[in-house]
Every structure is written in C-alpha cells, then in structure tokens.
Amino acid sequence: MFDSGVGGLTVLAEVRKALPDAPVIYAADIAGLPYGTKTEAEVAARVCGLLGRMAERWHPRLICIACNTASTIALAMVRDVLEVPIVGTVPAIKPAAAITKTGVIGLLGTEATVRQGYVDRLASEFAAGKTLIRHGANGLVTLAEAKLRGEIVAPDALAAELDGLLRHPQAKDLDTLVLACTHFPLLELELSAAFGGRTAFVDGAAGIARRIAHLTKGQPFARPSPDRAVTTGDLVDFERLSPVLGQYGLEELEIF
Ligand code: DGL
C-alpha cells in the first residue's frame, strides 16, 4: 500500500477488516510529502519511479495506491509499466451522487486532485445534473500528519482550510462531502464539528478493500510476522508514528 504519508492508513483499516490475514507493506513517500502542492509531472515521476523500485524489491501480488492525488494523476501510467494488479483510489463521486438529496456535493481533496481531468470524467459520468463544488485544501494533509504524531489540531487552522468551501454561494445546500484525499478521514471528528454534523461524508476506502478482496479471491494468505512500514524520509520522524502504525499492525519501521 502506497501513499505520500499516513493517509493510506484509512484504506489499510478497511483492508484489515476485509482481509485480516493479508500481509501488507505500507510505504509512505514522506520525502515527497505533500503531493497536493506538486505538479502533475513531479507526482507522476515519484509514483512511477518509487513503485517500480518497490515492485522489483518486494514482488507484491497486488499494489494499492492509497492516495487520490497519486491515483488521479498516475494510475494509468503505473498500470502501463508494471505487471502487477494495481488498485487506485479515486474520488467517491459515484456513491456521493447516489445519496445526496439536495443535489449539491462538495469535493474536498488536494489542489492537485480537484483539478484533474479524471475528476471531470467522474463528475460527468456519475454526477451529471448535480452541483459539484470542488475545493482544494492542501493544509488538511499537514494537519492530519501532525495529529497522528500526537499534535493538537487547531480549530482555526482547520477552519481556514475550509473557508472557501463554506463561503461558496451554494454551500448552504451542501449535504454530502466527498473526502477525496485519504488523509481526510483521519480528521473526521474535526470536520464533522466544522460542518455542524449536517453533512454526510463519503470516501472510497471500503470500496477499495472490496476490490482488493475480489482481485485476490481464493488466494491463500498468512501473516506469520508483524507487517512493515517504510518511509522515504527520516526514520526518527517516522518513529514518532510508531504508536499509531502499531494500531494498524505495522510494527517494523524501515527506510526505503
Ligand atoms: N493522501 C493523499 C491523497 O489521497 C495526498 C496527500 C498529499 O498531499 O501528499 O490525495
């Protein structure tokens, strides 16, 4: 499972429920974090290069790109060059469109995700006739990373990230919000308070876990030793996450 940081843990939580015996290597490109402020070329180069090297080193039976930014930019490119099944994470616009009553949906992602053509295609295929308010909030990634390192999420900092969305002319009708960044469910309590508990949140994690279970159906799994988390960044910083990573069954921490 691959993400720029800790966001992919929200996908891993669902994968653990669906496939409790599946061994997982969790790879965080912390040297490249955040992806949301990068250009398409920068994200594509990192994701293709790193996943290529990781696939050669570990020979995974499946790769999950547990990151909306990486997936909406580079999923097709990675699939082109790696001979491994690859499951991506793309904004859950389809389920959001199915549950909205007002027809006004928010799309909260990184700035890089919300501008992708991939999102245009999902919107026209699944949310035609609805209003999709796109809002990039790169700073929420930093807040989620800090929260998992034990820091307090300052309500003002969170509010500043949401300001543009909450001031949109149609925001009062927004009843459904797509959490289109795997980091954002880590802030669900804080986001729920900011939206006054009136908005349904939708993300793709459970659907991704179902897809992985489907693609590996019938395959035997065994997890005889603790799973590993690797970082492209600094090991001392990564070790600050060890209590949280341990809760997801990731007990060995290494540098990639
Ligand atoms: N977790 C990633 C996502 O789903 C992005 C975080 C970042 O900006 O690096 O989009």
Q: Determine if ligand 1 sits within 6 Å of the CB of residue 10.
A: no
Residue 48 annotated to the active site: no
Extract long-range pairs of 56-64: CB within 8 Å, 24+ residues apart: 58/25, 60/25, 60/84, 61/85, 61/216, 61/219, 62/86, 62/87, 62/212, 62/215, 62/216, 63/1, 63/2, 63/87, 64/1, 64/2, 64/8, 64/11, 64/15, 64/88, 64/89, 64/208, 64/212
Task: Look at the domain 2-89+206-255 and name its fold.
Answer: Rossmann fold (3.40.50)
Domain range summary for the chain, segments of one domain joined by +: 2-89+206-255, 93-203
Distance 137 CA to ligand 1 centre (A): 10
pLDDT digits (tens, 9 = 90+) for 206-224: 999 999 999 999 999 999 9
Is residue 100 in contact with ligand 1, taking CB distance under 6 Å?
no
- pLDDT tens readout for residues 73-120: 999 999 999 999 999 999 999 999 999 999 999 999 999 999 999 999
Q: What pTM did the predictor assign?
A: 0.97
Ligand 1 atom at minimum distance from 182 CA: 4
93-203 CATH fold: Rossmann fold (3.40.50)
CA of residue 8 to ligand 1 center, whole Å: 9
Q: Which atom of ligand 1 is nearest to the CA of 67?
A: 4
Q: What confidence tens digit (pLDDT) does each residue in 147-200 have?
A: 999 999 999 999 999 999 999 999 999 999 999 999 999 999 999 999 988 899
Give tens-digit pLDDT for 236-248: 999 999 999 999 9
pLDDT (0 to 100) of residue 197: 86
Q: Among 68, 187, 208, name the best residue to mutate to test ligand 1's pocket (greatest count of ligand atoms within 8 A of Cβ).
A: 68
Q: Do domains 2-89+206-255 and 93-203 have the same CATH topology?
A: yes
Tell whether ligand 1 has an atom less than 6 A from the beta carbon of residue 38: no
